[in-house]
Chains A and B, each alone.
Chain A
Amino acid sequence: MAKNKERIDMPRQEIKERIRNFEEVAIGYTEEMALLEAERCLNCKDATCIKGCPVNVKIPEFIKFVVEKKYLDALKKIKETNSLPAICGRVCPQEEQCEKSCILGKAKKPIAIGRLERFVADWVSNSDIKEELPKIEKKNVKVAVIGSGPGGLACAADLALLGYDVTIFEALHKPGGVLVYGIPEFRLPKRIVEREVEYLKKLGVKIETNVVVGKSITLKDLFESGFKAIYLGLGAGLPKFMNLKGENLLNIYSANEYLTRTNLMKAYKFPEYDTPIKKGKRVAVIGGGNVAMDAVRSSLRYGAEHAMIIYRRSRQELPAREEEVENAEAEGVEFHFLVNPLEFIGDEKGFVKQIKLQRMQLGEPDESGRRKPVPIEGSEFLLDVDVVVIAIGQTANPVLLNVTPEIKRNRWGNIEVYDEFGRTSMKGVFAGGDIVTGEATVIQAMGSGKKSAEGIDQYIKTGKWL
């Protein structure tokens, strides 16, 4: 059989249908597709793709197992460095990471590493094969993980594998962090997150939900009750607003609220689920990142006739993943580029009805290297809207840090760490993920969680701090 040369496309739900439901858009490779894609891999000796992955998944080795149809072995290989393959395969920005560094990317399209990773994880979980649990030698030493986002989950998994008695404390009622409250069902089905959480529980990790550390219990209490080390994976959970006139009008949401109502609280199933959301016919989402794309694509699924992105630079500068922008465009999202909100205008009952926008043009590049938007005087105009979502970013979640002055923060409010393992200024406390780096990615948070697990193990064994 002639070797396949072309990158295999991801099958997706028909556009007509998918914009009216919250089901996953990307359906996933069939076995046949996965095999065709896998056999394109050159199995490079000095595989550059591995270096592109923040956790260095052994890509050629797992792909070789796929070619041999040894999917369980492939999964084990991936899990040596990545405990959440079904999730990463779906949401990693592969085009900037592993796939960007694939040698094939130079001449033609890189191997679809993420899609294969997802295929392997899904295949095994849909089969009758029971993933055998690794043998763990229990150490009887307690470690606490605060926050159950990807960073916390990865840290807990590695610590459990090392034999520690791990408890995760999570403020919300469901574990998963942004994976459950932020990223929509149509990109990451929640049953997949649940599956990964179940696996952690099988490893012996305890999960205490509804515990707001800093309020329900302090770090000092945790140390006093016998925990030997603590990992903080608090995330970047504080939504930014713009401080514009009219920003508190009714039907103006932060992206966090809009997405939390939708994903964690399942407002798209209202009234079967009790949490309501305003659906809106003319929905404007302010911002151009992944979060903005998730919000605007959700609004389409709620039935918006005009689902609009309001972005102050041009398409080229959009920070969202290209794939998400393409999906949004294909689904009919309207993009308003080079415009910036000045004010929100409401009706007599206080509901937002218009945004006053100003046109922008691109000036000189700023520190980030992107061209800076400059307002055009006298270009103001009004846009009719009935729901607005503000998706201009998040900063550090301060609930725990405000009552823990021992932990030093930098000028953005993020936790200052002093080595690659995430040691903070408080003895025995490590930190990683978005609370350290600011908003980043799932795999980076995971990578730092793993690194901290290593650091915690060292610290507990040696007792050495900085």
Chain B
Amino acid sequence: MYQILEHKTIGQNIHKMVIKAPLIAREAKPGQFVVIRSYENGERIPITICEKDPQMGSITLYIQEVGKSTAKIGLLKKGDHILDIAGPLGNPAEIKKVGTVVTIGGGVGCAITYPETRAYKEAGNYLIGIMGFRNVSFKILEDEMKKVCDELYITTDDGSYGQKGFVSDKLKEIISSGEKIDEVLVIGPAIMMKVISDITREYKIKTIASLNSIMVDGTGMCGACRVEVGGKTKFACVDGPEFDAHEVNFSLLMKRASMYSEEERLSYEKFKNER
């Protein structure tokens, strides 16, 4: 059992949770995730470790409500317990000093780019952050990112905050301004990652994406999370979750992520009706 030390709802349906998990707090590195099962009948879902505090023995997660499992977690209060948390899982991000790095987050994906942005900064890079949200009510982590980025840009689809448009528009702008970019990290909806990686491929800019495939165990035992990278099958949970974006088969990723959409809808509606 893992106690919730803090729970804040930030942005629309995004929950910031600080949870007591000393073993995980000690070992976690940027890019790694945990698998959570919040109650006895629950499913196992992966969530990225956004921050950790080894002294406090705590980890911080940002969870966006998109279906039943995340909605149930959202209902938990400070002092409540989460039944199971396993981790840290996946490979830590490979973060080196390369020069100028652009990190691009879409929605809750910003919770994943944030710790890596910080690590890139600590490694001595020049950091340009781009954060994209549907509208201002989904905005998260702006202040935190401001502290670690040399330049920070925010886009919203409807223009309700920052620049109107998509993160890809902003990236193109930066590239055409003549800025030399050495590495791009992109985390968000698969379609966004695909669009970004199509742009950077053209300019031969090394690009890393974190793949959000469906997982069960998260330890390499089931193969639910398989993705295609460079024409080869990989398990996102143990071989990733980060891969060279130019090698990723995004269309397969998107299809596989929607495999249970019917069942998920049923489950979520039933849950909302009972609530």
A residues near B (Cβ < 8 Å) are 171-173, 181, 209-212, 215-217, 237-239, 241, 243, 247-248, 250-251, 253-254, 256-257, 260-261, 265-266, 269-276, 278, 349-350, 397-399
A-B contact sample (7 more), CB < 8 A, given A172-B86, A275-B43, A276-B267:
A210-B85, A215-B27, A215-B88, A248-B233, A253-B223, A276-B263, A397-B219
- The answer to whether B37 and A260 have CB atoms under 8 Å apart is no
- The answer to whether A257 and B216 have CB atoms under 8 Å apart is yes
- The answer to whether B219 and A399 have CB atoms under 8 Å apart is yes
- The answer to whether A350 and B23 have CB atoms under 8 Å apart is no
Partner of B23, one of A211, A261, A270, A271: A211
- The answer to whether A248 and B41 have CB atoms under 8 Å apart is no
Q: Nearest A residue to B263 by beta-carbon distance?
A: A276
- The answer to whether B255 and A274 have CB atoms under 8 Å apart is no
| Chain B residues whose C-beta falls within 8 Å of the C-beta of A274 in the assembled complex | 41-43, 68-69, 267
- The answer to whether A238 and B221 have CB atoms under 8 Å apart is yes
Partner of A248, one of B69, B238, B256: B256
- The answer to whether B263 and A270 have CB atoms under 8 Å apart is yes
Query: What is the bound-complex CA distance between A171 and B219, given in angstroms?
Result: 8
- The answer to whether B89 and A212 have CB atoms under 8 Å apart is yes
- The answer to whether A247 and B233 have CB atoms under 8 Å apart is yes
- The answer to whether A212 and B252 have CB atoms under 8 Å apart is no
Q: Is the interface of A mostly helix, strand, loop or mixed?
A: loop
Q: How far is the CB of B225 from chain A (nearest CB, A)?
A: 9
- The answer to whether A250 and B259 have CB atoms under 8 Å apart is yes
Question: Sorted from nearest, which 10 A-B pairs have the closest CB atoms?
Answer: A276-B263, A350-B255, A257-B222, A210-B86, A254-B223, A173-B84, A274-B43, A275-B43, A237-B221, A273-B41
Q: A173-B37, A216-B88 are in contact. Are A276 and B264 (CB under 8 A)?
A: yes
Q: Nearest A residue to B256 by beta-carbon distance?
A: A250
| Chain A residues whose C-beta falls within 8 Å of the C-beta of B41 in the assembled complex | 266, 269, 272-274
- State whether the Cβ of B44 lies closer than 8 Å to any Cβ in chain A: yes
- The answer to whether A211 and B259 have CB atoms under 8 Å apart is no
Tell me the chain B residues, 178-228 only, with Cβ under 8 Å from chain A.
216-217, 219-224, 226-228
- The answer to whether A216 and B233 have CB atoms under 8 Å apart is no
Query: What is the bound-complex CA distance between A91 and B259, given in angstroms?
Result: 34
Q: Nearest B residue to A350 by beta-carbon distance?
A: B255
Q: Nearest B residue to A173 by beta-carbon distance?
A: B84
| Chain A residues whose C-beta falls within 8 Å of the C-beta of B255 in the assembled complex | 250, 349-350
Query: What is the bound-complex CA distance between A270 and B270, given in angstroms?
Result: 11
25 contacts between A and B (CB under 8 A): A171-B86, A173-B37, A211-B23, A211-B86, A215-B87, A215-B219, A217-B27, A237-B221, A248-B256, A250-B259, A251-B259, A254-B223, A256-B221, A256-B223, A265-B43, A273-B43, A274-B68, A276-B263, A278-B260, A350-B255, A397-B219, A397-B221, A398-B220, A399-B220, A399-B238
Interface size on B, residues (CB 8 A): 40
Query: What is the bound-complex CA distance between A260 and B216, given in angstroms?
Result: 8
Q: How far is the CB of A35 from chain B (nearest CB, A)?
A: 40
- The answer to whether B219 and A254 have CB atoms under 8 Å apart is no
- State whether the Cβ of B266 lies closer than 8 Å to any Cβ in chain A: yes
Q: How far is the CB of A167 from chain B (nearest CB, A)?
A: 13
Q: How far is the CB of A303 from chain B (nearest CB, A)?
A: 15
Query: What is the bound-complex CA distance between A209 and B219, given in angstroms?
Result: 13
| Chain A residues whose C-beta falls within 8 Å of the C-beta of B56 in the assembled complex | none
- State whether the Cβ of B83 lies closer than 8 Å to any Cβ in chain A: yes
Tell me the chain B residues, 25-74 only, with Cβ under 8 Å from chain A.
27, 37, 41-44, 68-69
| Chain A residues whose C-beta falls within 8 Å of the C-beta of B83 in the assembled complex | 173
Q: Nearest B residue to A400 by beta-carbon distance?
A: B219
- The answer to whether A241 and B233 have CB atoms under 8 Å apart is yes
Query: What is the bound-complex CA distance between A275 and B264, given in angstroms?
Result: 9
Q: How far is the CB of B208 from chain A (nearest CB, A)?
A: 21
Query: What is the bound-complex CA distance between A260 and B85, given in angstroms?
Result: 18
- The answer to whether B86 and A212 have CB atoms under 8 Å apart is yes
- The answer to whether A237 and B216 have CB atoms under 8 Å apart is no
Q: How far is the CB of B44 from chain A (nearest CB, A)?
A: 7
- The answer to whether A216 and B221 have CB atoms under 8 Å apart is no
- The answer to whether A212 and B87 have CB atoms under 8 Å apart is yes
| Chain A residues whose C-beta falls within 8 Å of the C-beta of B260 in the assembled complex | 276, 278
- The answer to whether B226 and A248 have CB atoms under 8 Å apart is yes
- Residue in A215, A257, A276, A278 whose Cβ sees the most chain B Cβ within 10 Å: A215
Query: What is the bound-complex CA distance between A224 and B69, given in angstroms?
Result: 38
Q: How far is the CB of B211 from chain A (nearest CB, A)?
A: 13
Q: How far is the CB of B193 from chain A (nearest CB, A)?
A: 18
Q: Nearest B residue to A210 by beta-carbon distance?
A: B86
| Chain A residues whose C-beta falls within 8 Å of the C-beta of B216 in the assembled complex | 257, 260-261, 265, 275
Q: How far is the CB of B95 from chain A (nearest CB, A)?
A: 19
Query: What is the bound-complex CA distance between A251 and B262, given in angstroms?
Result: 13
- The answer to whether A216 and B23 have CB atoms under 8 Å apart is yes
- State whether the Cβ of B24 lies closer than 8 Å to any Cβ in chain A: yes
Partner of B86, one of A216, A266, A350: A216
Q: How far is the CB of B263 from chain A (nearest CB, A)?
A: 4
- Residue in A237, A254, A271, A272 whose Cβ sees the most chain B Cβ within 10 Å: A271
- The answer to whether A171 and B217 have CB atoms under 8 Å apart is yes
| Chain A residues whose C-beta falls within 8 Å of the C-beta of B238 in the assembled complex | 398-399
Query: What is the bound-complex CA distance between A238 and B234, given in angstroms?
Result: 12
Partner of A172, one of B42, B217, B224: B217
- The answer to whether A239 and B44 have CB atoms under 8 Å apart is no
Q: Nearest B residue to A182 by beta-carbon distance?
A: B221
Q: Nearest B residue to A170 by beta-carbon distance?
A: B86
Tell me the chain B residues, 219-271 only, with Cβ under 8 Å from chain A.
219-224, 226-228, 233, 238, 252, 255-256, 259-260, 263-264, 266-267, 270
